[in-house]
Amino acid sequence: MDLLERRIAAQLDALPVPVALKLPGERRLGAANPAVTLTFHDWSSLAVMAAGQIGRMAEDIVEGRVDVDGRMRDLMAAASHLLPGSPVGSDTGWWTQVRRRAKSLAAHASPNKDAQQIQFHYDVSDDFYELWLDPRRVYSCAYYRDVDMSLAQAQEAKLDHICRKLMLRPGERFLDIGAGWGGLLLWAAEHYGVDATGITLSKNQHAHVTRLIDEKGLKGRVRMELRDYRELREDVQYDKIASVGMFEHVGQANMHTYFAKIHRLLKPGGLVMNHGITAGGVAVSELGAGMGEFIEKYIFPGGELLHVSHVLREMALSGLEMVDTENLRPHYARTLWAWSDALEEQLPQARRVLDASAPRNAEKVLRAYRLYLAGCAMSFEQGWISLHQVLASRPDGRMETGAIKGAQSAFPFNREYIYTR
């Protein structure tokens, strides 16, 4: 056994689940009765594993250089112990910051570029997403208000949680930036009586929600537009605005543009809810050990994360006042595991659906999504990434607005209204 194989054998002995490796040439290492078996078709992939580059390892799996036999939960338990250290680094050097900003500017140079990146992910196949999302196709962190909730119940709880935080009232103008398959948009209209506008860059989502609006008889009070947030007219202002799972696609270079746009679209005294994934490290925009590069290449091109402290700074610089912040990190871990488990239960059907929409890349797409869902679930559990709901107001400058003198907005400056039923 050479040095590399001895190193790998030592790693396998330290893993929390039994893992076996089948090497090129029929050699075998690891457990006799494994929970996970990895079959290597290329020696270079073994060196990647030894180095703890689990993002590059995931790429080798997608590209077929490594095959996996076993549960995704067991694979991720092993993967988290292969890392040489935390993937949440803090490189704050000036040159690193310059490179990150240049990359961000290039990735989000135009609405057309962003549209292409959004469609790469969200237009894979509606039938594919339907296999593992809840019936409303809510593709964002659920809210497990009660620990025994199903995914569908927790997603409805999340939709209502947002509406309650925003204090939605009948007749108010409500804007949903990045409305997805319409879960929040339709919930707000049907349960809170708002006049609702949603925007998306996904052609599939736009067609789906437009059809639902017609089917539910909401035409005239609810509308879905295929539009970039930068293209929204500013002669129309909204009482309340929500952005759920969208600002991760904005890019650090455009963050001020994004929040400044929201400020101009929001009526003085109005409220905005920004719900999105945030970085676990203060000075990073993607995970290390190759994980960020994997997500960029196969899942979310152009995606960037900010630490919540940077989000709050950008909001403040745009004239928005943070009035409430809630961390839902473990809720997203549980949500992702629910999605992952649902996909794992329907792999044959998922292959058929993807083969119909992308026959040349169906297996690659499926492998990528299996790793992405389970890997993100693990990352949220570990605290490498997080999820924050940030509620903010646009102060109207009037001392008598609101429940308390100086509130300058609809927010009552207590949380009782959110949780009182």
What's the pTM?
A: 0.91
- Residue 108 and residue 44 in one domain: no
- Residue 78 and residue 112 in one domain: no
- Residue 248 and residue 387 in one domain: yes
Is-contact 182 209, C-beta < 8 A?
yes
Q: Which of 58, 82, 106 is the last residue of a domain?
A: 82
Helix 255-265 / helix 308-317 crossing angle, nearest 10 deg: 50
Nearest Cα residue to 376 out of 406, 338, 409, 350: 338
The answer to whether residue 91 sits within a structural domain is no
- Residue 133 and residue 72 in one domain: no
Q: Which residues of 49-66 are buried (b: 16+ CB within 10 A; e: fewer)?
A: bbebbbbbbbbbbbeebb
Sign of CA dihedral 197, 202, 208, 211: positive
Q: Give the domain CATH number at 129.
A: 3.40.50.150
User: How many domains is the chain built from?
Assistant: 2
- Residue 216 and residue 323 in one domain: yes
- Residue 355 and residue 212 in one domain: yes
Q: Which of 82, 113, 140 is the last residue of a domain?
A: 82
Kind plus residue range of the DSSP H or E element containing 380 = helix 362-382
pLDDT digits (tens, 9 = 90+) for 161-217: 999 999 999 999 999 999 999 999 999 999 999 999 999 999 999 999 999 999 999
Q: Which of 79-88, 90-99, 349-358, 401-410 has the lowest mean pLDDT?
A: 90-99
Average pLDDT estimate for 81-85: 81
The answer to whether residue 64 sits within a structural domain is yes
CA distance 79 to 372: 13
- Residue 20 and residue 103 in one domain: no
**Active-site residue, selected from the candidate residues 376, 377, 385, 390:** 376
Kind plus residue range of the DSSP H or E element containing 257 = helix 255-265
The full DSSP string for 288-328 is TTTHHHHHHHHT-TT-----HHHHHHHHHHTTPEEEEEEE-
The answer to whether residue 336 sits within a structural domain is yes
Q: Tell me if residue 177 falls in helix, strand or coil.
A: strand
Q: Which of 39, 57, 82 is the last residue of a domain?
A: 82
pLDDT digits (tens, 9 = 90+) for 343-355: 999 999 999 999 9
Sign of CA dihedral 393, 398, 402, 407: positive
DSSP summary character for residue 93: -
CA distance 383 to 388: 13
Kind plus residue range of the DSSP H or E element containing 226 = strand 222-226
Does residue 376 carry a catalytic annotation?
A: yes
Which residues does 384 contact at the CB level (< 8 Å), separation at least 6? 86, 87, 88, 280, 287
pLDDT digits (tens, 9 = 90+) for 363-420: 999 999 999 999 999 999 999 999 999 999 999 999 999 989 999 999 999 999 998 8
DSSP summary character for residue 279: E
pLDDT digits (tens, 9 = 90+) for 203-215: 999 999 999 999 9
Q: Domain range holding 21?
A: 3-82
Q: Give the domain CATH number at 45.
A: 3.30.1050.10
